[in-house]
Chains A and B, each alone.
Chain A
Amino acid sequence: MSIGLPLHTHAAIEGVERVELLKVLTPEEARGSHLGETDVLLLEDEALVRRGGGPIRISSLRNPEVVGPGDVVRLRPGSSLVSVLYRRGSTSNTLFATERCNSLCLMCSQPPRDEDDSWRVGELLRQVSLVDADEPQLGITGGEPTLLGQGLADVLTACRTYLPSTHMHVLTNGRTFKDRGWAERWGSAHPDHVTWAVPLYADVAEIHDEVVAAEGAFLETLQGLYELGRLGAAVEIRVVLHAITIPRLPQLAAFIYRRLPFVRHVALMGLEPMGFAKSNRDRLWIDPADYIEQLRAAAFHLADRGMSLSLYNLPLCVLPRDLWPFAQQSISAWKNAYPEICDGCVVRPHCGGFFASAGPSWRSRAVRPLKLEEFA
């Protein structure tokens, strides 16, 4: 099993007295940077060194490849952990907003914790100021980021200031947008550079509310979507494909086209076997090979009507060829993997592969290496 580069490594760390977010730069790049010497860890031959504001020295990195120039790392006092919060060149960089959530989705890959973590706002503001200004895209995820309230508006305003050309992609369940005041506050913080990615699991409340385990969530999300539509905000709808959402997937596609015509992009997503998804496997698992018919109906209902559509987290070998043009390599590099069965597959360079967390029991029976002869 081959897997992407992790976001953490251990090292010998000296001089860290409080939580530090620092930018890693080569000495050459540091000389031309607007950042001060208290913000920068210089990447030297054997170590990472901060010269200003109390010297810090990081050496003997267990996996030196984890940290590279341009990255933003977090160090904690008394810990040997070096965490990469931003990786230059990665297409899946995110700001982690909060662990709290007002829903409790059956397949949540990042189960929420109900603790006050509003301290994150300060860290996020700091992180935003250290990200490369030419970064094309940055995600905001959680938890439910809007639970930061004004904090989220502040983070978006900081992005507008420090990263004016970076496109922000915010994962939210949309429920809190039903309050017009908040919708306007978040929507106006960085109006032209934010896509709000909102999950919708069915065209009927019963199923959606079951999936997110929150009574009334369907109505709130729809109300929130209409508030976003009212603001002319860019909205993406995300549908996670599993045993509960599949039966009405074609109806959901029709619903989105009819009722949410302002939506700019629809993502139909394979299940990530993490967090709650693992404990709810019995309720959720359906082999993608068994939902191709519904998937195809939904996909072409939207695509034929000119709606922009993507398929995430589904390997090419399980999809019929007519759906291939919609398939994206969507799995973040650090949790992306290809099992041994993929060795020698000719479409592998174009295939999204699998979540590293997906053991054989989460693998479709249709998975197989494609041979060159099939294309001749």
Chain B
Amino acid sequence: MTWRERLALLLGAASPFAIADHSAAATPNTLLWTEGGDEPVSLQPLEFWNDPAHTHHLLQLAGHRSHSSHSSHSSHRSHVSGSGGHGSHYSGTPSYTPSYTPVLPVAPAAPKPVSTPAPRPAPSYQPSSPSTLFEASPAARPSTPAPPSSAAGASSGLVTGSAGQAPQDVAAGVERLSQDDISRFVQRVQIALMIKGYDPGPADGVLSPKTREALRAFQTAGGLTVSGNMDMATLHALGVLK
């Protein structure tokens, strides 16, 4: 890892520039670092800051950054995540009540994700399709009517790929995961993100927009596919599958 990449990794979630929406985070090359200075420079248009609540959030971040001698501290950032979090800026309710029961296969699925290192003990969570564990892309969402708002959409992303798949996967042996199981797993991911210096908000087991932002920042810094999803490559990189 070069120092530039390292720096990007460290600054990732601390930088207000990491607070980007889907489209911004999907193009990691728009973040550049100046040669001499400590501050990152973004070539990204700043429209996505227009939400006043968002701006307030960024000012908070900036305040924390200005009085800190260094740039990447989760302890500083954790103030920002404080109470409520900024899930409240989104129109939907962050509590998730999916209208179907998420399922997760217990038997190892046939196609292994390409990115998975070979000599590992079988992870306790196996994807039923390559690289999708908790898939939130609209394509993988089941036909069940989904709540319209973005936050609720994010929450209902707590779905395995198999939920939208053919019944033979279910016949291969799947175990119904309780809401608690999923919540605990998301909590593990949130704690792993905090340890690596990102700010997913409180470890409350809710795959909140803030947690997705942290996932995107982590994926960007690590050269992974930037999706905001808990895909296999990301989970391995976070060390939550060992």
Instruction: Report A's interface with B, CB cutoff 8 A.
Output: 88-89, 300, 303-304, 306-308, 316, 320-322, 324-325, 346-347, 349-350, 372, 375-376
Q: Are A322 and B194 in contact (CB under 8 A)?
A: no
Residue B30 CB within 8 A of the other chain: no
Q: Are B191 and A325 in contact (CB under 8 A)?
A: no
**Complex partner residue of A300 from B70, B74, B75, CB under 8 angstroms:** B70
- With a 10 A CB-CB cut-off, give which of A320, A325, A347, A375 has the most chain B CB atoms: A325
Residue of A nearest to B187 (CB): A372
Residue B71 CB within 8 A of the other chain: yes
B221-242, CB < 8 A from A: 239-240, 242
> How distant is the Cα of A47 from the Cα of B34 in the complex, in angstroms?
61
Q: What is the 8 Å Cβ interface bit string for chain B, positions 1-27, against chain A (1 contact, 0 not)? A: 101101101100000000000000000
Chain B residues with CB below 8 A from A304, complex form: 38, 69-71
**Complex partner residue of A321 from B70, B73, B119, B192, CB under 8 angstroms:** B73
Residue of A nearest to B33 (CB): A306
Residue B203 CB within 8 A of the other chain: yes
> How distant is the Cα of A321 from the Cα of B13 in the complex, in angstroms?
14
> How distant is the Cα of A320 from the Cα of B9 in the complex, in angstroms?
19
**Complex partner residue of B74 from A306, A308, A325, CB under 8 angstroms:** A325
Chain B residues with CB below 8 A from A325, complex form: 9-10, 72, 74, 195-197
> How distant is the Cα of A254 from the Cα of B10 in the complex, in angstroms?
20
Q: Are B10 and A349 in contact (CB under 8 A)?
A: no
Q: What is the 8 Å Cβ interface bit string for chain B, positions 60-87, against chain A (1 contact, 0 not)? A: 0000000001111111101000000000
Q: Are B239 and A349 in contact (CB under 8 A)?
A: yes
> How distant is the Cα of A89 from the Cα of B117 in the complex, in angstroms?
10
> How distant is the Cα of A320 from the Cα of B187 in the complex, in angstroms?
21
Chain A residues with CB below 8 A from B72, complex form: 303, 322, 325
* A376-B4 in contact given A321-B74, A325-B197, A349-B239 (Cβ < 8 Å): no
> How distant is the Cα of A130 from the Cα of B49 in the complex, in angstroms?
57
Residue of A nearest to B1 (CB): A308
Chain A residues with CB below 8 A from B69, complex form: 300, 304
Chain A residues with CB below 8 A from B192, complex form: 350
Q: Are B187 and A324 in contact (CB under 8 A)?
A: no
Q: Are B74 and A324 in contact (CB under 8 A)?
A: yes
Residue B204 CB within 8 A of the other chain: yes
Chain A residues with CB below 8 A from B71, complex form: 304
Residue B211 CB within 8 A of the other chain: no
Chain B residues with CB below 8 A from A320, complex form: 75
* A89-B190 in contact given A322-B70, A325-B74, A347-B195 (Cβ < 8 Å): no
B180-200, CB < 8 A from A: 187-188, 190-192, 194-197
Chain A residues with CB below 8 A from B240, complex form: 349
Q: Are B194 and A321 in contact (CB under 8 A)?
A: yes
**Complex partner residue of B7 from A88, A306, A322, A375, CB under 8 angstroms:** A306
Q: Are B195 and A350 in contact (CB under 8 A)?
A: yes
> How distant is the Cα of A303 from the Cα of B38 in the complex, in angstroms?
11
Q: Are B3 and A322 in contact (CB under 8 A)?
A: no
**Complex partner residue of A349 from B38, B74, B75, B242, CB under 8 angstroms:** B242
Chain B residues with CB below 8 A from A350, complex form: 191-192, 195, 239
> How distant is the Cα of A324 from the Cα of B75 in the complex, in angstroms?
10
Instruction: For the complex of A and B, list the 6 residue pairs with the smallest distance between their C-beta atoms, beginning with the closest.
Output: A325-B197, A322-B73, A375-B203, A300-B70, A89-B119, A306-B3
Chain B residues with CB below 8 A from A307, complex form: 3
Q: What are 21 sample pairs from A and B whose C-beta atoms fall under 8 A apart?
A: A89-B119, A300-B69, A303-B70, A304-B69, A304-B70, A306-B3, A308-B3, A320-B75, A322-B70, A322-B73, A324-B74, A324-B194, A325-B9, A325-B72, A325-B197, A349-B240, A350-B191, A350-B195, A372-B187, A375-B203, A376-B203
Q: Are B70 and A306 in contact (CB under 8 A)?
A: no
Chain A residues with CB below 8 A from B70, complex form: 300, 303-304, 322
Chain B residues with CB below 8 A from A349, complex form: 188, 239-240, 242
Chain B residues with CB below 8 A from A324, complex form: 74, 194-197
Residue B202 CB within 8 A of the other chain: yes
> How distant is the Cα of A376 from the Cα of B6 in the complex, in angstroms?
27
> How distant is the Cα of A267 from the Cα of B169 in the complex, in angstroms?
47
Q: Are B6 and A306 in contact (CB under 8 A)?
A: yes
> How distant is the Cα of A235 from the Cα of B181 in the complex, in angstroms?
45
Task: Determine how close the nearest CB of chain B comes to the CB of A166; give it in whole angstroms.
Answer: 15
> How distant is the Cα of A155 from the Cα of B224 in the complex, in angstroms?
36
Task: Determine how close the nearest CB of chain B comes to the CB of A217; give it in whole angstroms.
Answer: 28
